[in-house]
Each structure stands twice: as C-alpha cells, then as structure tokens.
Amino acid sequence: MLLTGAEILLECLIKEGVEVVFGYPGGAILPTYDSMTKYPQIRHVLVRHEQGASHMADGYARASGKVGVCIATSGPGATNLVTGLATALMDSVGIVAITGQVARGSIGTDAFQETDVTGVTLPVTKHNYLVMSAAEIPLVVEEAFHIARSGRPGPVLIDIPKDVQTEKAEFGSYPTGKLRLPGYKVASSADENDLAEAIRLIQEAERPLILAGHGLIMGNATQQLQELAEIAGIPVTLTLLGKGALPEQHPLCIGMMGMHGHAASNHAIQEADLLIALGMRFDDRVTGNLKTYSPLSRKIHVDIDPSEINKNVKVDVGIVGDLRTVLTQMLPHVPRKQHPEWVRRIRDWQEDGSERDIVTHYTGSTLLGAQVINDLWKFTDGNAVTVTDVGQHQMLEAQYYPHQRPSTLLTSGGLGTMGFGFPAAIGAKFAKPDEEVWAIVGDGGFQMTLAELATARQENVDVNIAILNNGFLGMVRQWQEIFYEQRYHATPMVNPDFCKLAEAYGIPSMRVTSRDQIKESVDFARSIKGPVLIEYVILKEEMVYPMVPSGADLDKMIRRPKWGETQP
C-alpha cells in the first residue's frame, strides 16, 4: 500500500494495539490529525494542556500495563510534554510520545514553533527518534514500543517533521521483522551461583525482611512475592510505588517504609539481619542516611536494571534479571521457615504505632485529611483505583488506604510531580472503565492542571475528584513549621470556590466540612455517571507523622506522641 507518513503512523499504532491517544493538535502535527478521521479505531482525547496529555498516557500505562500514547505539535506543544516524560522516566512507566516537527528543510533555521525536541528530551526519555523519511516510520514505531515496554520500562519520543507526515511510502507488513537493537539487552534469568548464595543467606537469616518495590508490579511478579513471603515466613515492607504488590492486610505485610512510612517498617529495616530488595532502587526517601542504613543486615538486591545494583546501597548479592523469572527460579529452593520472635518484635512496633494514630484517637471537630482518606477506604471497600497528586494527601493516602491489589495506587514517586493526579486519573479510567477511580488531590497541585476539568466534562469521564483543601501548600508548610520556625512564606493559598468552579464546567460537586458527611459524599459521587468534584475542607495545620528528616537515620523519626501523654 502507498500511504502517507501520517497514515503509516496510525496503521502502526493500530497494529501495536493502541486504542486511545491523548493529545492536542497544532500546525506541525496537523497531517496526522487529519488522517485520524480515517481511523476511528483510535479514540482521541482532546486535552487542555499537553502536560495533561503526558500524565494521562502515564496513568493509562500504570493502570493497564500497556504502553500509553500522547501526541503534541512542535515547539511549545512538545516542550509541554517534558514534565510528564520526566515523571514517567523516574517511575519506569512505558509511554510513547509523538510530536510534530517543522519540515525537514526548516530544521535548524529557527522556524516558527521549532525546537530541538530530541535534544530537549534526551535526559528525560529512555530513547528518542527524529524520523527523516516516511519509510522509516514502521521500524521506528516497532522499536519505540519495544523499548518503552521491555526491560525497565520508560518513555520514548518520536519526532516527525510535517513533510514526512505528508510524504508517501510503501507500507508492508508490521511488525517489520527487522528489529535489531545493538547494545540493548534485557536480562531474564538469574546466574545460578548468585541464586545459590541468595538462598544460603535466606536460610541463615533470623530477622529477614523483604523490601517490595514497583518492579514487582510492573514485572507481574506479585504472586511469586507472596509465595516467597509465606514459604520463608518473611515480613514484607513496601515502597510507595510498591503498595499493592502484597495485599496490605496480609499478616506478613507491615506497610510502607521511608520518610513518611510506618514506624514499624523503618525499625524493622534498621534491625533486620537480611534485606531482600525486589524491584526497588533504594531511593533517598526510602533509606534516609545511607551511612547508617540497615547496619546489621546482609543484602540481596534483584532488579532488571544492572545500573541499580550497588548504585546507592552496597549489597552482598546482586541479581540482574526479570523478577518473575528470578523468583520462579528461587522458589523451589527457598527453605520453609517461620520467624516468630522477629514477627512478634514487629507487632510490638505496630502496636506502638496504633497508640499514636490520630484517626483512632482524634476528637476535634475540624475535619482531618487522615479521616477523609481512611473513610474513603472504608466506604469504597478498599477496592477503588486511587490516583494521587503530591504532598500531604499523598502520604496520608499511603498510610490510611491499604491496597489489596497491584496497580490500584497510581502516584508520582520519583519526580514528585504536582499536577499529576487529576489527569493521570482520567488516563486510568480509560484503562479501567469498569473500576471506581478517585483522583485524590491537594488544593495546590489540583490548580496546576485543573484545566483538564474541561476534558473530563467533554469526554464524560467517570472520575471522582477528592480535593483535600487546607488553604496551604501543606507539605511545604509542614517543613516550615518544623525546620523554619513557622515562617509560612509563600505557602498560604487563596483558592477559588472549587464547587463553583466545577459548576462552571458543568460538573456536579459537594463541599464536606465534617466527618459525618463523608459517606454521603461517596454515595453522591457514585450516583453520578461522569466527573464529580468533592471538596473536603480540612484542618489547616494537620501534620503527617511519622517523618524522617531529610538525611537523618531511618529510625530517627519525628513521631506523634502516644495519645494521652501529650495531646498534639
């Protein structure tokens, strides 16, 4: 078939199984948009800002396990994708971004809306392409999707000049059968000697602990994780992005670790004699002070990315490979054990944490963000897909919404991107149309991408938006209270009336100011097919505890006093 470059691109996307793309048109990408009229199989979602497109593609990818696709024009359209690409790269999410470029003869002339997009995005993509002929498109698309989804996933960008989109070329079979990527090798199985050494360390350990990360979810290895934990009797602690890798109500799960993780998890890490790190990268928010991190333990680290082994934390056994494959190799040889004394010690730490829990003991009249999250969990039966923004509400979600399934908490971990939550929730709903999806956002982050209310309305996306409104940039205010003598500079916010704002977009809304209204708000949101906005007006000075100060030892947490000792 003799097709234009734009038509070839769309044919290739269909062959890759793409059903929806999130984008915004412009001159340099217009030939592709015009060709979309011939391909109704691909649903196009018109965003209101290209950053929203990249976050929607990201949310779609995290929720579905497929590659998400976003599209933008040249110049400012393409550069507006950068934050979303960086977010996806930091969290290892497979998306493909397609951008228009000025015509080939104008490249390098500072033409209207020209930007060196491959140069700009080189640090925030796994790979990128500038396509210089229509005939190249099938191989480029095949490579891009393979790179985006394989190994450690990540974003890939394809930049296509306008005249390449209109140029005609022969389109044959797809896949091309020409996929050759010299230097790109994805590990699979573990080295037998490394595996034997890991088994020996597990056999000898008396206080072992599994650190479960995002890689377990992306690698579809959650069942193998549960088998490992149960056979060897090993407690499991989760990274933020690893929540749901093991059901959080499983008796061996002790919750999230790190800066705002559960105290029991942090104490267990510091006192363990063996850490088994699976699909996680020892981020600084997880480790605290590296010099004092888990000083009593030997360490096993399994990851598909060889660059992560010994990067931040030196380990005794480093295994590079696909987690599902490696754990499947390991399981027949894992010793069947129990560690009752170790588990009892962890239970003591958990009991101590319960005595400090604000939701259990708080008797004030002002609504707390922790109460909102805990009640959302209760009234959704813990089954919703929650997509958060970044800040106090994000950490409260991690603490008070236990997840029983993988890929049901979607959040920006590595980059910490404010504005991520709402558009990513729209993407997640397209990926999981039959799931209940809640965007849990703060008043600050929501205002960064609230223009996507128009997208949600136009597409009638059934997403429930929960805004936790405390009139502050809450996490920054918390740092100012603790470390900057309560100098609240540039953190108090004058916000719009969020319910009237929703009304302006034709979106039903409700304002909640007391805890006894929360169930009513959930019922209200569930009664409407389409976007709904709920504003929860919460305590301005609410704090998120525990908190490990930046660079401090992991077990040197700032904690809420036990209730009754000194009232906060």
- Residues marked active site are found at 50, 112-113, 162, 475
Cα–Cα dist 521/510, whole Å: 7
Sign of CA dihedral 476, 478, 482, 484: positive
Q: Which residue has the tokens 């000025």?
A: 102
Is there a cis peptide before residue 340, judged by omega within 30 degrees of 0?
no
Q: Which residue has the tokens 């991107």?
A: 417
Cα–Cα dist 243/236, whole Å: 11
For 343, residues 6+ apart whose C-beta sits below 8 A from its C-beta are 233, 235, 252
* Closest to 173 (Cα-Cα) out of 12, 307, 355: 12
Is there a cis peptide before residue 208, judged by omega within 30 degrees of 0?
no
Cα–Cα dist 256/241, whole Å: 9
Question: How far from 196 is each of 23, 59, 98, 233, 248, CA to CA, in Å?
Answer: 49, 38, 45, 19, 30
CB 352 within 8 A of CB 263: yes
| DSSP secondary structure letters along 228-267 | HHHHHT--EEE-STTTTSS-TTSTTEEEE-STTS-HHHHH
> Does an H or E element contain 208, and which?
strand 208-212
Cα–Cα dist 134/36, whole Å: 17
Q: Which residue has the tokens 């929203």?
A: 52
Strand order in the sheet with 509-512: 409-410, 385-388, 437-442, 463-469, 532-537, 509-512
